[in-house]
């Protein structure tokens, strides 16, 4: 392949060496998504106060979305013949997202999720660039969907906080 345009529309047929960088970034994305997912569950179970009903529902909706995203990322890694990270210890080692305590105020929980979104968006962008570099439009499309959803929800949570 000689041109970028040809690379962008290439069909599946990547070899393991071509996808190593993409899979490395996607495994880091996967690890961060797992910590984010668990944080959302923590917040869903432990939110208190006047915003309980709204946030309890929002956190559940977001952890369902995170769970689906995790599955799609792991399966996409398998498409390329690689093994996705799947142990808690690996997630902890490869994640920039950290656990949160259970006793945060509702607004602090939302602020934590907003911080997670910034971290996740940086990994999504890295993975998107790696996919573009090898002409992988399937992964690019999947990641673009995740990015659009997360950006919209970032705006909504920011608005909730009055930002």
Per the domain annotation, does 2 fall within a domain? no
| Residue 13, pLDDT score | 73
| Residue 12, pLDDT score | 65
| Residue 55, pLDDT score | 98
pLDDT tens digits along 93-142 = 999 999 999 999 999 999 999 999 999 999 999 999 999 999 899 999 99
Longest dimension (CA), the chain: 59
The fraction of the chain above a pLDDT of 90, given in percent, is 85
Per the structure, the count of domains in the chain is 1
Per the domain annotation, does 3 fall within a domain? no
pLDDT tens digits along 16-25 = 788 899 999 9
The domain in which residue 41 lies consists of 14-160
CA distances in angstroms from 45 to 2, 38, 57, 144, listed in the order given: 53, 11, 10, 30
Q: Record the tokens describing residue 105, joined without a space.
A: 């105020």
Identify the CA nearest to 110 among candidates 154, 151, 68: 154
Per the domain annotation, does 80 fall within a domain? yes
What DSSP string describes 82-122?
A: ------HHHHHHH-S-----S---HHHHHHHHHHHHHHHHH
Question: Model pTM?
Answer: 0.90
């Amino acid at each position: 392949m000689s041109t970028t345009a040809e690379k962008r529309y290439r069909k599946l047929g990547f070899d393991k060496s071509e996808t190593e960088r993409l899979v490395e970034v996607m495994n880091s994305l996967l690890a961060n998504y797992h910590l984010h997912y668990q944080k959302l569950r923590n917040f869903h179970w432990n939110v208190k106060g006047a915003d309980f009903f709204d946030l309890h529902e929002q956190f559940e909706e977001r952890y369902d979305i995170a769970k689906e995203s995790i599955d799609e990322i792991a399966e996409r890694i398998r498409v390329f013949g690689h093994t996705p990270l799947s142990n808690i210890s690996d997630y902890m080692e490869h994640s920039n997202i950290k656990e949160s305590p259970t006793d945060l105020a509702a607004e602090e929980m939302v602020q934590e999720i907003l911080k997670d979104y910034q971290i996740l968006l940086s990994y999504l962008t890295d993975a998107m660039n790696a996919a573009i570099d090898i002409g992988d439009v399937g992964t690019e499309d999947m990641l673009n969907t995740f990015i659009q959803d997360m950006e919209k929800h970032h705006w909504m949570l920011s608005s909730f906080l009055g930002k």
